[in-house]
Structure 1
């Protein structure tokens, strides 16, 4: 045998020895932690293979085959036929068996005789190569978690969506927040033919902490949207030509320097409110007691208004036709939303209170909450929710957790609402029949320390609250967490739906998605669960001074909430999977709600980004099918003394890996649970799209959402389309054409799925990623349009791959 062949075998042998040694050492460590024995056994087998290859012994091939067989048996026993769970378990040993098979003609028996013929080596190598190719060939296709039966969902409401006509007049299309458009011009049979109809650039790039998360509105023939810096823009709905723009020039404070967002604007037609107001103020009585109505003419401007909130905590309205400020609103056109709030504590960032989400506008009332800094300090301003007159901007009511159901009247001038109350930072929903507004609440900040919680904060944290739209008087509230210690604030817009029940009755429900992945379906008249909610015991071994709840509510409906176990740990290879298993076994983990400690890291799953975040879900209002996208990212957290954090160089932020929680005994360090390679330490998908039949409660289908193609890991972009399912942002759009559209994945695509099966029917390449929610309307030309605002995927951490693009799709004229 030539020297280069000998040295090739020796190099292969050394590689196998070293990898086997690493597996053995790690495997013994895992055994010591009470974990699986397989890795240590596999490591020893690999060292035997390496030693025998180095010595050119034929035993290497038989050990490689034996290891592969044992590996397959063990893998199927642990994870069944879960493709992405099998890949890291089998690929290394499959490739090793292939390599040893290829070099097998060079291996010898103890007596030096040749062991394997060229024919044997060729056949075995071909078989193993086919197996490797089969695994690789299955990587570019999605692997459903729940496969659809193929049955088409029956229509429950044939007139669903028609109340909004050809428009999209509210952030969730209507005040019920269902994100459903009844249009069927674009459907399953022709969606593949979608083309770009028009594009528009706003001029505000999503850079330096700005993110495009906006869902536009469309009224008559105008599309309305806002930029992260609150510029409001009106476009022609059929051509994308700019009609007008308005810049409120918000102040940028320290708190909003890296957090600039405008998720949407509101719209209202005040014709009826003006007529009522005019009539109420112009009724006169003569000497005989007879009344006469001398109502004034309707105003020539600002009858139809765009309602806007800003990142410097202002509220204003614009004439929808001209874009001019409605100067009769508030004080010179603006309402200062910081009035009635306490000042930020000295340890907080200036501008802590700001608005990022679209306001609800209904029945002449504007309903707004506000965003606060999380985790920096105690003493943050109130989380008060307020209603304002849409004509005058006058405050009508103010609900805050400190007063709860007792009183919702606005405080007199000079008085302030109680600080530290749970806030509402999303978009509310409204039932015009019940005259009730529904909004979700967050948590008293700092989020991770519960030793200083007010009783009213515990009562209203992570809740759904129903109030009267005219008075703000609370009718009921429901907690989705008994005492939140993980920033599980409920942020998605509630979805209102009239739900047919198996017994033939119809229950008006509110559907609340949560970061925990729990889906609460409640009777929106009284807050009683329609799908069962169970109080389950959770871990309570908390730090001294912490107050944790002994039980937490769990719904009969949920997505991605299965309890993580050791066999769920994942990796690109068997080696980083082993590292993740060691990390998992080294953490505190007694299931969801395991309290944080200062001794070692505690696993947090579901993670505090979701589950379901602010983007919310959509419902096919015709069939009662709920469509939700979720995030499945485990995290870890640990308490740390503030002075220790300073010494080791941790920099405090509200959203980063360390927060001071000033005013409490502990800061909190936290991060994603990832491997040394920078990929998640738990099984895919890391984001999915799920369809749930709300009539039966059954999951119809569940598919991974998004590929690794454009997602950077340690600065490296894979560039290959492998749809494992990635963390999502934004929300879906459902149409009467049987389609679900989505573009908030980490790769640069907008997609259309079959709403009955979850099958991807169309995928359009984008210049950058997106993180809002698409919308749809019919233009004056009779065409159906799908519109998305694309500014870049969420939190890339750089100004690269960012945009300011508005893009509209339609079918070609001949389709």
Structure 2
């Protein structure tokens, strides 16, 4: 053998030995923790192959091929043919086997004679082809649940909101029922690929310094309305995007800067439709004001509240300033505006009340209030000097409204600090993570349904509930509310009384290991309909290669995890899955009302948490924040350290996907398909953007738009695209590149002037990116070319 191959075999052998040492040592660590023996055994085999490679012995090739076969069998036994788990198990040993085979002509030994040139060529070619197939597979979508029946469902009459709003999109979810359903037919599966940018508008309010552009526009008549992160409202021409007017409330806060939508009200009793404030845009601000604006002129309605403002901090007490932030679109229910607000998570005890209030849209007078300590307070005003009781669950999403039942439905979060429940009130326990139905005119409670008992991991219910009438199997329908949760549980209830339509059962959950005084609920409710809720197993641990997968398995074995609701404790990290970001977060879902198909996106990221004394955290250098890795939870015995469940390489420890779009047949309760959504193309990893459109399925923001023509539009991925999917198959049938990522649900309308249908998205950049690079202020409308 000449010096070149000799040197190469030495280098290959040394590198292989180093990899083998890692597998053996860390594999032994996993064995001690009670985990799989495979990694150590594989490391021993790789070490033997490496030694023989250094000795230039053909046994190196034989062992490498044997190791590949053994790994393939082990992988098949653990994860079947699932692509991403198989990739991380096999790709390294495929490369090792290929290199060892290519080196065979320069190796010696008794088995050398079997490696003739044709055999070597065929074997290395086959291995190379498998590697290429794996690499190509990285760029293909691998369904979580593949569609079994791709035929379009038989259409049924839409009954949830028979009064479709014509060509308009007058509310956050198009109607007060929140279905996000566009009944227009101009854009369909046959022509969606021809969509082009029709116009672009820049708000001038860039999503910088922690601000997020998450607004979904509304459209009424000849005007589109959008609010930017600092609650600046712009009125636009629906065909050109030309600005008609702009209203700036000069909201004063540097925390939680976002506006997800505005409301709209028209005075049906007005004799002059053009009278001042006969039509109003309803706006809440991040500094806790409620404002109405003349929809025609953009001037504040000065007869509303005091000088055009209602102070939403009234009645919330001294802790409310700097803690209470309305960000969601207000609900207009007849002549009542229903509002709630976000309350800072996990910072301290004594946070303000989560009261939900109804205001007269004409005058701004408070009509009613609902709070967990007095759910039948209704129209009874506060006494002089009285405040709503602190530390109660709050509504930080958008409510829904059924005018026939005269009921408002709203989701509630959890009492903060979320991770400590040792001194929670009975009222908070009764209403945490609940959906509540109240009389729209009085605020008096009719019923409530709790989606989690004594929540200790921030499983807020925040998605706008969807109201839809579900076929009852006897030729009629049943009025339903679809309650989506961060837990991934989807509760389908009769909206008249809150009784489950889809079965719900109570299951026992872990009861040991919590710190002293931390009360645990013995049971939790589980719906027969859920997405992304499967209990994690050691074989679910992932990584780009076998090495970080091994480290993730070690972490999994080292942390505490006994399924959902495993208690967070002070002794070891606890895995939280579904994570506290979801499941289904504030974006919610959409319903194709013509077929009864629920479209809903989710997040599938595991997190971990651990209690730590505040003094110890300070000594360790942790800086408290409500959203970061350490939350102080002042007033409780413990702070909480928490983060994503990542490998040392910065990749998620749980197998992909991390975000999906799902189609659910509401008539049968079955998931029709579940598809990974989004690629890593624009997602920074250790400060570097990969630029590769690998569809792992990434965490999603906001919600979808469903159309009558069997399309679902979505833009809230972590890559810079808006997409349209076939609702029967989940296949992406169109996508367009955005200037920056979007965090908002798309909407659609028809122009009264040109007859064109538009799809509109907003784009402000990646969420919580920590930098001001690649941020935006875009409103983009898509339409078919004129000849279409």
What is the match of residue 600 of structure 1?
Answer: 572
Q: What are the within-5 Å matches in structure 2 for residues 117-128 of structure 1?
A: 117-128=116-127
What is the match of residue 730 of structure 1?
Answer: 702
**In the TM superposition, what is the alpha-carbon distance from 1:117 to its structure 2 partner?**
2.7
Q: Encode CA deviations 1:363-390: one digit per residue, 9 max, x unaligned.
A: 1000001111111100001000000000
Q: Secondary structure in 1 aligned to 2:198? A: strand
Write the distance in 1 (CA, Å) between the matches of 2:366 and 2:277: 19
Q: Does the CA-based 8 Å contact 2:368-2:378 persist in structure 1?
A: no
Q: Encode CA deviations 1:20-48: one digit per residue, 9 max, x unaligned.
A: 11011111111111111111111111101
**In the TM superposition, what is the alpha-carbon distance from 1:409 to its structure 2 partner?**
2.1
Write the distance in 2 (CA, Å) between the matches of 1:472 and 1:161: 25
Write the distance in 2 (CA, Å) between the matches of 1:39 and 1:90: 12
What is the match of residue 16 of structure 2?
Answer: 16
What is the match of residue 781 of structure 2?
Answer: 808
Q: Does the CA-based 8 Å contact 2:370-2:377 persist in structure 1?
A: no
Write the distance in 1 (CA, Å) between the matches of 2:649 and 2:658: 16
**In the TM superposition, what is the alpha-carbon distance from 1:162 to its structure 2 partner?**
6.0
Write the distance in 2 (CA, Å) between the matches of 1:181 and 1:120: 61
Change (3 A) 1:152 1:405: same
Change (3 A) 1:184 1:679: same
**In the TM superposition, what is the alpha-carbon distance from 1:676 to its structure 2 partner?**
1.0
Write the distance in 2 (CA, Å) between the matches of 1:496 and 1:419: 31
Given the alignment of the two structures, is residue 798 of structure 1 paired with residue 777 of structure 2, yes or no? Answer: no
What is the match of residue 477 of structure 2?
Answer: 506
Given the alignment of the two structures, is residue 240 of structure 1 paired with residue 241 of structure 2, yes or no? Answer: yes
Given the alignment of the two structures, is residue 264 of structure 1 paired with residue 265 of structure 2, yes or no? Answer: no
Q: Secondary structure in 2 aligned to 1:515? A: coil
Q: Secondary structure in 2 aligned to 1:271? A: coil
Q: What are the within-5 Å matches in structure 2 for residues 632-671 of structure 1?
A: 632-671=604-643
What is the match of residue 251 of structure 1?
Answer: 252
Q: What are the within-5 Å matches in structure 2 for residues 368-447 of structure 1?
A: 368-405=339-376, 407=378, 409-447=380-418
Q: Which piece of structure 1 moves more, 628-637 or 762-771?
A: 762-771
Q: What are the within-5 Å matches in structure 2 for residues 568-587 of structure 1?
A: 568-587=540-559
**In the TM superposition, what is the alpha-carbon distance from 1:797 to its structure 2 partner?**
1.2
**In the TM superposition, what is the alpha-carbon distance from 1:110 to its structure 2 partner?**
6.0
Q: Secondary structure in 1 aligned to 2:134? A: helix
Write the distance in 1 (CA, Å) between the matches of 2:676 and 2:511: 34
**In the TM superposition, what is the alpha-carbon distance from 1:114 to its structure 2 partner?**
6.4
Q: Secondary structure in 1 aligned to 2:155? A: coil
Q: Secondary structure in 2 aligned to 1:122? A: helix
Decide which of 770, 788, 796 is 2:761's aligned counterpart: 788
Structure 1 alignment gaps of length 5 or more: 276-296
Q: Which piece of structure 1 moves more, 398-407 or 607-616?
A: 398-407
Change (3 A) 1:408 1:28: farther
Given the alignment of the two structures, is residue 137 of structure 1 paired with residue 110 of structure 2, yes or no? Answer: no
What is the match of residue 48 of structure 1?
Answer: 48
Q: Secondary structure in 2 aligned to 1:26? A: helix
Q: Which piece of structure 1 moves more, 497-506 or 202-211?
A: 497-506
Q: Encode CA deviations 1:249-303: one digit per residue, 9 max, x unaligned.
A: 0111xxxx2420000000010133x58xxxxxxxxxxxxxxxxxxxxx7882000
Q: Does the CA-based 8 Å contact 1:161-1:181 persist in structure 2?
A: no
Given the alignment of the two structures, is residue 194 of structure 1 paired with residue 165 of structure 2, yes or no? Answer: no
Q: Does the CA-based 8 Å contact 2:369-2:377 persist in structure 1?
A: no
Q: Does the CA-based 8 Å contact 1:161-1:180 persist in structure 2?
A: no
Write the distance in 2 (CA, Å) between the matches of 1:412 and 1:618: 42
What is the match of residue 277 of structure 2?
Answer: 302
What is the match of residue 283 of structure 1?
Answer: none
Write the distance in 2 (CA, Å) between the matches of 1:787 and 1:413: 47
Q: Secondary structure in 2 aligned to 1:131? A: helix
Write the distance in 2 (CA, Å) between the matches of 1:154 and 1:108: 68
Q: Encode CA deviations 1:629-676: one digit per residue, 9 max, x unaligned.
A: 000000000000000000111000011110110000000000000011
Q: Encode CA deviations 1:301-324: one digit per residue, 9 max, x unaligned.
A: 000000000000000000000000
What is the match of residue 285 of structure 1?
Answer: none
Q: Secondary structure in 1 aligned to 2:414? A: coil
**In the TM superposition, what is the alpha-carbon distance from 1:118 to its structure 2 partner?**
2.6
Q: Secondary structure in 1 aligned to 2:483? A: strand
Q: Encode CA deviations 1:371-418: one digit per residue, 9 max, x unaligned.
A: 111111000010000000000000000100011235552313421100
**In the TM superposition, what is the alpha-carbon distance from 1:503 to its structure 2 partner?**
3.4
Q: Does the CA-based 8 Å contact 1:341-1:382 persist in structure 2?
A: yes
Q: What are the within-5 Å matches in structure 2 for residues 70-469 of structure 1?
A: 70-109=70-109, 116-148=115-147, 149-157=149-157, 163-252=164-253, 257-272=254-269, 300-344=275-319, 350-405=321-376, 407=378, 409-469=380-440
What is the match of residue 7 of structure 2?
Answer: 7
What is the match of residue 62 of structure 1?
Answer: 62
Q: Does the CA-based 8 Å contact 2:432-2:454 persist in structure 1?
A: yes
Q: Does the CA-based 8 Å contact 1:569-1:683 persist in structure 2?
A: yes
Q: Secondary structure in 2 aligned to 1:730? A: coil
Change (3 A) 1:48 1:90: same
Given the alignment of the two structures, is residue 761 of structure 1 paired with residue 733 of structure 2, yes or no? Answer: yes
Q: Encode CA deviations 1:770-804: one digit per residue, 9 max, x unaligned.
A: 11100000012100000001011211111011010
Write the distance in 2 (CA, Å) between the matches of 1:139 and 1:407: 56
Q: Encode CA deviations 1:568-602: one digit per residue, 9 max, x unaligned.
A: 00000000000000000101111100001111100
TM-score of the aligned structures, taking structure 2 as reference length: 0.98
Measured on the aligned residues, the alpha-carbon RMSD in Å equals 1.3
What is the match of residue 482 of structure 1?
Answer: 453
Change (3 A) 1:551 1:158: closer
Write the distance in 2 (CA, Å) between the matches of 1:161 and 1:20: 66
Q: Does the CA-based 8 Å contact 1:39-1:578 persist in structure 2?
A: yes
Q: Does the CA-based 8 Å contact 2:508-2:523 persist in structure 1?
A: yes
Write the distance in 1 (CA, Å) between the matches of 2:40 and 2:155: 56
Q: Does the CA-based 8 Å contact 2:367-2:379 persist in structure 1?
A: no
Write the distance in 2 (CA, Å) between the matches of 1:101 and 1:766: 46
Q: Secondary structure in 2 aligned to 1:715? A: coil
**In the TM superposition, what is the alpha-carbon distance from 1:49 to its structure 2 partner?**
0.9
Q: Does the CA-based 8 Å contact 1:107-1:116 persist in structure 2?
A: no
Q: Encode CA deviations 1:482-523: one digit per residue, 9 max, x unaligned.
A: 110001010100000000022333110000110000000000
**In the TM superposition, what is the alpha-carbon distance from 1:120 to its structure 2 partner?**
2.2
Write the distance in 2 (CA, Å) between the matches of 1:189 and 1:407: 51
**In the TM superposition, what is the alpha-carbon distance from 1:327 to its structure 2 partner?**
0.2
> Number of residues paired by the alignment?
784
Write the distance in 1 (CA, Å) between the matches of 2:257 and 2:534: 34
Q: Secondary structure in 2 aligned to 1:382? A: coil
Change (3 A) 1:264 1:778: same
Q: Secondary structure in 2 aligned to 1:630? A: strand
Q: Secondary structure in 1 aligned to 2:748? A: strand
Write the distance in 2 (CA, Å) between the matches of 1:683 and 1:405: 46
Q: Secondary structure in 2 aligned to 1:261? A: coil
Q: Encode CA deviations 1:129-173: one digit per residue, 9 max, x unaligned.
A: 011111111111101111212121111116877611000000000
Change (3 A) 1:251 1:192: same
Change (3 A) 1:421 1:158: closer
Q: Secondary structure in 1 aligned to 2:346? A: coil
Q: Does the CA-based 8 Å contact 1:58-1:115 persist in structure 2?
A: no
Write the distance in 1 (CA, Å) between the matches of 2:252 and 2:436: 31
Write the distance in 2 (CA, Å) between the matches of 1:199 and 1:158: 33
Q: Secondary structure in 2 aligned to 1:260? A: coil
Write the distance in 2 (CA, Å) between the matches of 1:271 and 1:546: 53
Decide which of 627, 648, 654 is 1:682's aligned counterpart: 654
Write the distance in 1 (CA, Å) between the matches of 2:465 and 2:694: 33
Structure 2 alignment gaps of length 5 or more: none
Q: Does the CA-based 8 Å contact 1:744-1:793 persist in structure 2?
A: no
